[in-house]
Structure 1
Amino acid sequence: MGLILIELCDYNLLAPQHLEKIAAHPEVAVMSYDCLNICGMCSMRPFAIVNGQRIFAPTVEECVEKIEQKVNEEIEKLA
């Protein structure tokens, strides 16, 4: 398992398939859960939790970009 954890809710608009490129990094693990107990967030907009920080955006594409940026920041911290 990686040092950077991306957590997704199964009911989210953002699915693990959207993060395949990001998950290719050996430092990254993507986990999908039935529920992340952030009630209503998954039905309002795409989101993920990256190392405990909520990342969200109006569209899946924008959310993936923000997640990739956050992952790159986390990888830089590890270097």
Structure 2
Amino acid sequence: MNEGLGLGLITVEVCDYGSLTVQHLEKIARHPEVAVMNYDCLNVCGMCSLKPFAIVNGHRIFANTIDACLEKIEKKINEELDMLQ
């Protein structure tokens, strides 16, 4: 596990073996409210080999492509931020 950046009001977790990596999330990680964390395994057996995915505040976000997944992640982050305000 690597330590994330940001305040951590919203956590985005990715698996080391998945197609979606911390590098893909660099833009998202710039938000001060967001902590991006990567783990050896997220215990969502097989998901990392099927589609790009991440867990945002406990919610699985996945799509057929990395770009589509990133869009869904950003949407979920915005929803979470709206709920905090």
TM-score w.r.t. the length of structure 1 is: 0.97
1-side partners of 2:79 and 2:38: how far apart?
A: 22
Specify the alignment match of 1:17 in structure 2: 23
Give the letter aligned to residue 69 of structure 1. Answer: K
1:65, distance to aligned residue in structure 2 (A) = 0.3
Q: Is the aligned partner of 1:51 residue 2:60?
A: no
1:78, distance to aligned residue in structure 2 (A) = 1.1
**What is the root-mean-square deviation in Å for CA atoms of aligned residues?**
0.7
Aligned length: 79
2-side partners of 1:32 and 1:26: how far apart?
A: 17
Give the letter aligned to residue 77 of structure 1. Answer: M
TM-score w.r.t. the length of structure 2 is: 0.90
- Listed as ranges, the gaps of 5+ residues in structure 2 are 1-6
Q: Is the aligned partner of 1:2 residue 2:4?
A: no
Q: Using the aligned pairs only, state the percent identity.
A: 68
Q: Which runs of 4+ in 1 moved over 2 A?
A: none
- Listed as ranges, the gaps of 5+ residues in structure 1 are none
